[in-house]
Amino acid sequence: MTGKPVSLMPDRIEKVIGVLALVLLGFVVTAVAKGSADWGKLPWELWLHLATMALTLALTPAILWMRRGTLRHRVAGYAWVTALAVTALVSFRLRFTNHGGFSVIHLLSVITLVLLPALVLAARRHNHALHKRLVRGLCLGALLTAGFFTFPFHRLLGRWLFG
């Protein structure tokens, strides 16, 4: 790869994405804590989905803000990819809207499952520009946008947080 040297430290966009991930994680933790009366009624798939999403949200700023190219960055990155893949896969078992059918948000799961291998391949091939674009796209789409749409009032986390 030729061209501009790769920065090993986060830029302003990555700092903002990390902060937004932490804010969303705070909302998720608060909502789950407020919904404790319903915990026994929830299927294991939902708990797995929440746990892997929380892990992904917690890892996001850590990975974005750490020095790139280190073993620590790679290990955390593989954990992030694995957690996000499990989150996306489990989402197909969660169909509480549309009379048990899939919803538009499931398209994000499909896109996520297609992009995650591309993300890993870009990193392994040292295609830093593509890796950076895919990370940002997955953070903005699979994490923040999907996370935002879990909080409308008719959805579980929204009911718990605002109810």
| Whole-number Å distance between alpha carbons of 13 and 9 | 12
Per-residue model confidence as pLDDT tens digits over 19-30: 999 999 999 999
Maximum distance among all Cα pairs of the chain, rounded to whole angstroms:
57
pLDDT mean over 68-85: 96
Token duo for residue 56: 């992904």
Which residue has tokens 């932490």?
22
Q: How many CB atoms lie within 10 A of CB 127?
A: 15
Instruction: Decide if pLDDT at 2 tops 60.
Output: no
Please check whether residue 128 lies inside any domain of the structure.
yes
pLDDT mean over 68-82: 96
Please check whether residue 78 lies inside any domain of the structure.
yes
Listing DSSP states for 81-95 in one string gives HHHHHHHHHHHTT--
pLDDT mean over 129-148: 93
Domain that holds residue 42: 12-162
pLDDT mean over 136-156: 88
Please check whether residue 7 lies inside any domain of the structure.
no
| Cβ pair 24, 144 in contact under 8 A | yes
Please state, rounded to an integer, the average pLDDT across all residues of the chain.
Answer: 90
Please check whether residue 1 lies inside any domain of the structure.
no
Q: pTM of the prediction?
A: 0.89
Q: How many domains does the chain have?
A: 1
Please check whether residue 42 lies inside any domain of the structure.
yes
Which of 4-18, 54-68, 139-153: highest mean pLDDT?
54-68
| Whole-number Å distance between alpha carbons of 31 and 48 | 16
pLDDT mean over 136-151: 90
Instruction: Decide if pLDDT at 118 tops 90.
Output: yes
Please check whether residue 73 lies inside any domain of the structure.
yes
Give the residue, 28 or 98, on which the prediction is more confident.
28
